[in-house]
Amino acid sequence: MMLGRVHWLADRLIGLSAIVGTLGLLFVVAVIVFDVVGRNFGAPLYGSQDLITMTMVIIVFGGMSLCDRDGGHIVVDIFENTFSPRLNRVIDVVAALLGAVIFVLIAWTVWQSAQLSVLLNLATNLLRLPTARFQYALCIFSLITALGMLLRAVSLMLGHKAAGAA
Amino acid sequence: MSSVFVGSVGLALLLVLLLMRIPVAFAMFAVGFIGIWILNGLQAATGLLSSETFALASNSELIVVPLFILMGNVASATGMSRKLYDAAYATIGQVRGGLASATVIGCGGFAALSGSSVASALTMGRTALAEMDRFAYSPRLSTGVVAAGGTLGILIPPSTGFVIYAILTEQSIGRLFMAGILPGILLLTAFLLTIALLCTLKPELGPRGPKTNAREKGRAFLGAVPILAIVVITIGGIYSGMFSPTEAAGVGAALVILIGAVTRTLTLRVFWDAARSSIVTTASVMLILIAAHMINPFVALSHLPAEVSRLLVALDFGPFGTLVVILAIYLVLGCFLEGLAMLVLTLPIFMPVVLQLGIDPIWFGVLVVLTLEMGLISPPVGINVFIVKSVARNVELLDIFRGVLPFWLAMLLTLALLVAVPSLSLWLPSMM
Amino acid sequence: NELKYANWASPMHTIVAAQVDPLAKALDEGTGGETTLRSYNGGELGAGPADQFVRVLQGTADMGWGVHGYTSSQFPKSLVLELPGALPLDQPGYAALWRAFPDELAQEYPRTEVIALWASEPNILMMRDKEVHSPADLKGLKMRVAGSISAEAMEALGATPVQIPMTQVYNGLQTGLIDGVISGASVLSDFKLNEVVGSITSGPNFGRLTFYTVMSQGAYDGLSDEARAALDTLKGEEISRMTEEAWVATADEALEAARQADGITVLDLEGDEAQAFNDALASVTDAYVAEVGGEAALAAIRGE
Ligand code: NA
Ligand code: NA
């Protein structure tokens, strides 16, 4: 079935972006250690700030879709038990759709910024890492997140209990 | 439609969305984006959405968030934090709520070092909550302690809050650092008394542990040596200039990983899972921080803080009354806005009034940063509480807010004491 | 019609009185209050100096100011003025920038109307405790730098360049994370570094920092004729001169306060002592100019 195949694809994409994000985190640990040790011996890692700031984009947004799938978004659950199951279901659908809209919007606006970055030739100060590349990466991670949310909204509307929904 | 009206409606809507269980970050994004759209046009709204998102996601100072989460995750996966709590339990477990007291001191120290109460709530939250749970401490007490403990850090140097205040108001950073020390100790004492009081009234919150003999104490302490060594190296490294507080997060994480690998408590599988779960928590926390930065320009564009402040200042309550009113405004704004953003929005309006009334700006600085930290644990937008929630998913948010309440009251009392006795803040800087 | 000026610095910063207020006054008077300019301070419209140009292009603000060095890849030729020895220290930077603007620099500011271009006071070395008389004194010291140009300058002098945010410099100097900072004297007061600096070295031509203020082309073209005329009376060299003079005055005041302070030694190097630094730095300037093809820009800046 079509939807099943989309779910399968989304799961792969979510897993893949989490792997990229995790590798980014370990890379940053290594960069900091090399920089600190090197600096105290008079040979710091050239451009460590550039590496850290740009990798951070990968870390933060690489984990975004997995965070969403694991129900990791923080909610104020004070009235959860007061609401009827039906209302809670409606809220879950609305939240998932709202999230999808937000992440598509983020992807779209950051895509536009990336084009400005190309126009202005923006890059990091020392290593000249092009800003646009990391903005494009952020867009892709955001779209994967939005896809996951959309699928959850569809599942909820079809009556399935969302896996791990908050 | 006046901009102030739009601002007020926006904040009310935010409150409703939050109570309707819309994820906190989504609610802030939606209200901020639509509010900016109404006040300043769609182009400005889309522009801010992209620039704030990318700027925060590539902010080198926020790298401490994933790094400290990683450090906390690996420390608990390898059992290092377990051994630390075993040692603490053997030492002060016989005292009611003893572990909670130890945790509050740990959180304060951590926040003091990292300069960030958010980082403290994250790292300590990861480790301390599960450990206190193991010793049958009530989640209400343990989450309250972790959320509140981090707020100690802003009063103890180095403090980002004081640096920003000093730059905005042209005060001496050194004098502000000195001014924060006694109030910091006072607040710590207030927290410890709060724990003692809570555990006396309700012993089941933090039950007494068994008595231990010197040998058991020694063995427990020995087990905690690796993690204590890491703490000592990290603190020493910051104060000796080996690395910055930001880099300390990376060094700390690397050391925990290294010791885990050497002692073979950290397998590749466990390591990978800890790292992977770190980026999930990072995403959840960073998304809230990014979304908070959509609310800030919205509130700035609505001129809401400026108008409310002008109105109240114009009512002219005299020096003492005005001071109390200003702090009350900070308490209310703190319910919605992130602390540093609030400083930027309001200090330009308050500072001339404060100086004109002859209120000491150093004293005022101490009072203001303490009030801002209260905002981190006050509903509905209490960033520290959300962070504790992100690492303690099984505890209900309402329970965390309930657990935080006594500490919030302790902060309020401390604030009142600092208002009543200015020399508590001003004595040390006057020695300089 | 309210124009929005994005100021990422504090409302007490020199930029407000020296630049925003005069522009606002000219617009207000020239249009009888029809067009006003409002300053959003402290990064209310988005934090930090790095993204200001983009924010103006995106319409978040109509006008904003930034530091060329924070996005150095966008301004390879404007940054020639920052190079050590690019311009004698007693010559104003704004005039040099506007000399080079029409032919050499204009293409670095697409889709905007450039309102002001100016430079800071000369860079100096602000050290934690070590007194620096010669390049040899810098050997192995950790120096906080703002961008690639000052990083290469410090490497050429044998120091180790360190990149940390400006707000962390105070603590960094206190703990010894860094041994010194290269920047203009205004940071002594702006970031309270006077409390943690022990020694200052001035005299050699360490270059300077440059700044820009831009307005989006759309906002400029959308102004009424009166508003545009009012803005044009100040736009360009005039407002740039006013801003730079206020900048230098703030810096002079900070440096003078440092001279009076007990805990700070100020070394004013002259003659051979200063020349030793200038000689060591010449290669940095030459290499940069060659790399960005900035020979014509350098000549225009120098008025050659
Ligand atoms: Na601190
Ligand atoms: Na709050």
Give pLDDT tens digits for B296-308.
888 888 888 778 7
d(CA B296, CA B381): 13
**Averaged pLDDT of chain B:** 86
pLDDT tens profile C229-267:
999 999 999 999 999 999 999 999 999 999 999 999 999
The more confidently predicted of residues B378 and B287 is B287
Q: Beta-strand (E) ranges in chain A?
A: none
d(CA A147, CA A165): 15
* Mutation target among C53, C70, C74 for the A interface, most CBs of A within 10 A: C74
Gap between the terminal Cα atoms of chain B: 52
- Residues C142-170 have a mean pLDDT of 90
Task: Assess if residue B356 is contained within a domain.
Answer: yes
Is it the case that residue B6 has pLDDT exceeding 60?
yes
d(CA C201, CA C265): 9
Q: Beta-strand (E) ranges in B82-207?
A: none
- Look at residue B114 in the predicted model and tell me its pLDDT: 67
C260: contact with B, CB 8 A cutoff = no
Burial of C276 (0-12, 13-18, 19+ CB in 10 A): middle
- Look at residue A161 in the predicted model and tell me its pLDDT: 53
Task: Assess if residue B25 is contained within a domain.
Answer: no
- Which residue among C71, C110, C163 sits closest to A122, beta carbon to beta carbon? C71
The confidence band for A162, taking pLDDT boundaries of 50, 70 and 90, is very low
- Look at residue B330 in the predicted model and tell me its pLDDT: 86
Q: At A62, list the tokens.
A: 């690489």
- Look at residue B406 in the predicted model and tell me its pLDDT: 95
How far apart are the CA of B189 and the centre of ligand 2, in A? 23
Sequence-separated (6 or more) residues with CB below 8 Å from residue B321: none
Sequence-separated (6 or more) residues with CB below 8 Å from residue C225: none
d(CA B406, CA B412): 10
**Averaged pLDDT of chain C:** 94
Residue C232, strand partner residues: none
The confidence band for B338, taking pLDDT boundaries of 50, 70 and 90, is low
> Which helix (H) or strand (E) element contains residue A117?
helix A85-120
Q: How many structural domains compose chain A?
A: 1
d(CA B166, CA B178): 13
- Look at residue B105 in the predicted model and tell me its pLDDT: 86
Cβ-based neighbour number of residue B378 at 10 Å: 21
In eight-state DSSP terms, residue C101 is: I
- Which residue among B30, B278, B390 sits closest to A98, beta carbon to beta carbon? B30
The confidence band for B432, taking pLDDT boundaries of 50, 70 and 90, is low
Lowest mean pLDDT among B113-127, C58-72, C250-264: B113-127
Task: Assess if residue B256 is contained within a domain.
Answer: yes
The more confidently predicted of residues B159 and A6 is A6
B174: contact with C, CB 8 A cutoff = yes
C232 in Cβ contact with C4 (< 8 Å): no
| Cβ pair A25:B66 closer than 8 A | yes
DSSP sequence for C187-256: HHHHT-GGGT--EEEE-S---EEEEEEEEEHHHHHTS-HHHHHHHHHHTTHHHHHHHHHHHHHHHHHHHH
Is the preceding omega at residue B158 within 30 degrees of 0, hence cis?
Answer: yes
| Cβ pair C58:B51 closer than 8 A | yes
| Cβ pair C177:B242 closer than 8 A | yes
Task: Assess if residue B203 is contained within a domain.
Answer: yes
- Which residue among A42, A48, A125 sits closest to C140, beta carbon to beta carbon? A42
pLDDT tens profile B214-250:
888 888 888 888 888 888 888 888 888 899 888 988 9
Percent of chain A whose pLDDT exceeds 70: 95
Q: At B273, list the tokens.
A: 């899972």
Amino acid identity, position C120: S
| Dihedrals phi, psi of B363, to nearest 5 degrees | -60, -50
Q: Are strands C199-202 and C112-127 parallel, antiparallel or unpaired?
A: antiparallel
Distance of CA A46 to the CA centre of its chain: 28
- Residues B275-300 have a mean pLDDT of 87
Q: What residue in B sits closest to A113 (Cα-Cα)?
A: B50
| Structural domain boundaries enclosing B161 | 62-431
Q: Indicate the SS3 state at residue C47.
A: coil
d(CA A139, CA A62): 11
Write out chain C residues lying below 8 Å of B245, CB-based: 168, 171
| Cβ pair C58:A116 closer than 8 A | yes
d(CA B3, CA A161): 42
Is it the case that residue B161 has pLDDT exceeding 90?
no
- CA A124, A129, A130, A136 dihedral sign is negative
The confidence band for B274, taking pLDDT boundaries of 50, 70 and 90, is very high
d(CA B236, CA B339): 29
Cβ-based neighbour number of residue B429 at 10 Å: 20
- Look at residue B339 in the predicted model and tell me its pLDDT: 66
C135: contact with B, CB 8 A cutoff = no
Q: At B323, list the tokens.
A: 């001071």
Is it the case that residue C207 has pLDDT exceeding 70?
yes
d(CA C171, CA A134): 31
| Cβ pair A95:B22 closer than 8 A | yes
How far apart are the CA of B115 and the centre of ligand 1, in A? 4
Burial of B377 (0-12, 13-18, 19+ CB in 10 A): buried
- Which residue among B41, B242, B300 sits closest to C40, beta carbon to beta carbon? B300
Write out chain C residues lying below 8 Å of B244, CB-based: 164, 168, 171-172, 177
Sequence-separated (6 or more) residues with CB below 8 Å from residue C54: A113, A116, A117, A120, A122, B47, B51
How far apart are the CA of B380 and the centre of ligand 2, in A? 6
Is it the case that residue B349 has pLDDT exceeding 90?
no
Is it the case that residue C164 has pLDDT exceeding 80?
yes
| Structural domain boundaries enclosing A67 | 2-157
| Cβ pair A126:C142 closer than 8 A | no
The confidence band for A160, taking pLDDT boundaries of 50, 70 and 90, is low
| Cβ pair A66:B279 closer than 8 A | yes
- Which residue among B51, B168, B173 sits closest to C46, beta carbon to beta carbon? B51
Cβ-based neighbour number of residue B357 at 10 Å: 17
Cβ-based neighbour number of residue B197 at 10 Å: 13
d(CA B106, CA B211): 23
C11: contact with B, CB 8 A cutoff = yes
Q: How many structural domains compose chain B?
A: 1
- Look at residue A124 in the predicted model and tell me its pLDDT: 93
**Alpha-carbon dihedral B32, B37, B41, B45, rounded to 10 degrees:** 50
Q: Are strands C180-184 and C142-144 parallel, antiparallel or unpaired?
A: parallel
Write out chain A residues lying below 8 Å of C110, CB-based: 119-120
pLDDT tens profile A2-61:
788 899 999 999 999 999 999 999 999 999 999 999 998 888 898 899 999 999 999 999
A15: contact with B, CB 8 A cutoff = no
B413 in Cβ contact with B187 (< 8 Å): no
Q: Indicate the SS3 state at residue A75.
A: coil
Is it the case that residue C26 has pLDDT exceeding 60?
yes
- Look at residue C255 in the predicted model and tell me its pLDDT: 95
pLDDT tens profile A89-143:
999 999 999 999 999 999 999 999 999 999 999 999 889 999 999 999 999 999 9
d(CA A55, CA B273): 20
In eight-state DSSP terms, residue A130 is: B
Q: At A64, list the tokens.
A: 């975004």
- Look at residue A163 in the predicted model and tell me its pLDDT: 44
- Look at residue A165 in the predicted model and tell me its pLDDT: 40
pLDDT tens profile B197-208:
999 999 989 888
C10: contact with B, CB 8 A cutoff = yes
Write out chain B residues lying below 8 Å of A33, CB-based: 250-251, 254
Residues with a beta carbon under 5 angstroms from ion ligand 1: B 112, 115, 153, 156, 159
Task: Assess if residue A165 is contained within a domain.
Answer: no
- Look at residue A29 in the predicted model and tell me its pLDDT: 97
Q: Count of A–B CB contacts within 8 Å?
A: 184
Scanning A60-99 for CB atoms below 8 A from C yields none
DSSP sequence for C131-182: --SSGGGGTT-EEE-SSHHHHHHHHHTT-EEE---GGGHHHHHHHTS-SEEE
How far apart are the CA of C228 and the centre of ligand 1, in A? 49
d(CA A149, CA C289): 51
The confidence band for A164, taking pLDDT boundaries of 50, 70 and 90, is very low
Q: Which ligand is nearest to the CA of B330?
A: 2
Q: What residue in A sits closest to C162 (Cα-Cα)?
A: A44
The confidence band for B121, taking pLDDT boundaries of 50, 70 and 90, is confident
Sequence-separated (6 or more) residues with CB below 8 Å from residue C182: C123, C124, C125, C126, C143, C144, C145, C146, C150, C153, C154, C206
B41: contact with C, CB 8 A cutoff = yes
Lowest mean pLDDT among B379-388, C33-42, C188-197: B379-388
How far apart are the CA of B384 and the centre of ligand 2, in A? 9
